[in-house]
Structure 1
Amino acid sequence: MSIVTEVAAAQSSDALVHFESVLQFETDCWDVHHAMTSGAPDFVLLDVRGPDQYAAGHVPGARHLPHGKIVEAKLTQYSADTLFVVYCAGPHCNGAARAAIRMARLGRPVKTMPGGITGWIDEGFALESSVHKQV
């Protein structure tokens, strides 16, 4: 018996619930890239890092709203059912989780993009810089 099989795998029905649940809370860089480059994405992508980090390079099409400044007044241009996908610097940063908490507290649908800018670059996707699209 290996360390992999030491604990039995979950029943398929339990695994289905678990993995579907994960995707209710997060998406990945590939899926965001596909949606952003295929026309009109059905979500708003938010870069929740600081202004200098955003200006240095961000995901093309992302709006800028630092996680500490997420308040309802900044979101009034979006309908209540608009899905927001938030990202920060990368796996070493909890800014996306902080942003998701603020969005959820405002009753807004939200997912994180784990990996953030680091994941985006790791996938080989280009960044955009110096174009400021603040919410």
Structure 2
Amino acid sequence: MSSMVSRPQVASADLALAHFSALLQCETDCYDVHHAISNGRQDFVLLDVRGEAAYQAGHIPQALLLPHPRISADALTEYPTDTLFVVYCAGPHCNGADKAALKLAKLGRPVKKMLGGITGWLDEGFLLQS
């Protein structure tokens, strides 16, 4: 007897390798971002893509405010074209980070989404800055 977990055909190891490798090329998590910031290894620009009021209420240290509707080539002129941007929004219930990542990718910019957003950051026990 099989479970609902194993009933659909399981992906081959090759397919799983390709899938999870692709995910990690596009995503990072709160712990890795925190670790990089805390250890002076931040090799990316962290963008809070929520609105200004939400940013002022509390944001991740080192994050810059650039709401996703304002992302444009003009807004990025001070950054070299190979700058990695890491974007986050409110959390899993919000698609602002996806919208921001899409805009950055369309502009030819390297981008990763930080999974969990502010909700994930707080769930990890990390502090916000206001």
The two structures have a TM-score, normalised by structure 1, of: 0.92
SS in 2 for 1:113: strand
Give the drift of 1:2. Answer: 1.1
Question: Hey, what's the Cα distance between the residues in 1 that align with 2:14 and 2:95?
Answer: 31
Question: Hey, what's the Cα distance between the residues in 1 that align with 2:122 and 2:97?
Answer: 17
Unpaired stretches in structure 1, ≥5 consecutive residues: 130-135
Question: Hey, what's the Cα distance between the residues in 2 that align with 1:127 and 1:4?
Answer: 37
Question: Do structure 1's residue 75 and structure 2's residue 76 form an aligned pair?
Answer: yes
1:114 matched to which residue of 2? 115
1:132 matched to which residue of 2? none
Give the drift of 1:76. Answer: 1.1
Q: What whole-Å deviation, never above 9, does each CA across 1:102-133 have from its counterpart, x for those lacking one? A: 1111111111112100110011100010xxxx
Give the drift of 1:36. Answer: 1.1
Q: What whole-Å deviation, never above 9, does each CA across 1:44-92 have from its counterpart, x for those lacking one? A: 0000011110011001100110000011111111110111000001111
User: How many positions carry a matched residue from both structures?
Assistant: 129
| Percent of residue pairs identical | 61
- RMSD of aligned alpha carbons: 0.9
Q: What whole-Å deviation, never above 9, does each CA across 1:4-29 have from its counterpart, x for those lacking one? A: 11123211111111100001111111
Instruction: In structure 1, give the amino acid aligned to 2:19.
Output: H
1:39 matched to which residue of 2? 40
Alignment of 1:1-135 (within 5 A): 1-129=2-130
The two structures have a TM-score, normalised by structure 2, of: 0.95
Unpaired stretches in structure 2, ≥5 consecutive residues: none
Instruction: In structure 1, give the amino acid aligned to 2:46.
Output: L
